[in-house]
Amino acid sequence: MEHASKPLVTITYCTGCNWLLRAGWMAQELLSTFGEDLGGVTIVPSHGGAFEVSVDGTLLWERKRDGGFPDAKELKKRLRDVIEPDRDLGHIDRSGA
């Protein structure tokens, strides 16, 4: 299995807070950008206001620690910085005029 050696992203979300759609959207955004460079994205139900995104055990975003929810741009940058720091994310890496 080739995907076994690729990075695995985990998104943990609070079921009581109804954040499944947000978790699914984040998973879609990451898969759209990183595609086959990821081994997969797992969405894990939890409770207590949890919303965390990690890759191979490295925490990329934690709602309480980081002050809310990430936007897709920030999350993609943080994932890139862990799995492939030299990767150009195109317009995401360009600053506005």
Please give the pLDDT value at position 97.
Answer: 47
Reading phi first (left if > 0) and then psi (alpha if -120 to 50, else beta), residue 19 is in alpha
Rounded to two decimals, the pTM is: 0.90
Please compute the mean of the pLDDT values over residues 11-16 and round it to a whole number: 98
Note the pLDDT tens digit of each residue in 46-55.
999 999 999 9
Q: What is the domain-level CATH number for residue 15?
A: 3.40.30.10
Domain, as residue range, for 62: 2-83
19 in a domain, yes or no? yes
Decide if 85 contacts 37 (C-beta within 8 A).
no
Is the per-residue pLDDT at 11 higher than 80? yes
Task: Give the model's pLDDT for residue 36.
Answer: 94
- How many residues make up the chain in this entry? 97
Q: In the prediction, which pLDDT does 96 show?
A: 56
Q: Is residue 97 part of a domain?
A: no
Number of structural domains in the chain: 1
Residue 22 lies in a domain: yes
CA distance 62 to 82: 16
Whether 42 is covered by a domain: the verdict is yes
Cα torsion 61, 21, 7, 56 to 10°: value is: 50
E-only strand ranges, 1-97: 8-14, 40-46, 51-55, 58-62
* pLDDT tens readout for residues 19-45: 999 999 999 999 999 999 999 999 999
Nearest to 45 by CA among 8, 13, 9, 11: 13
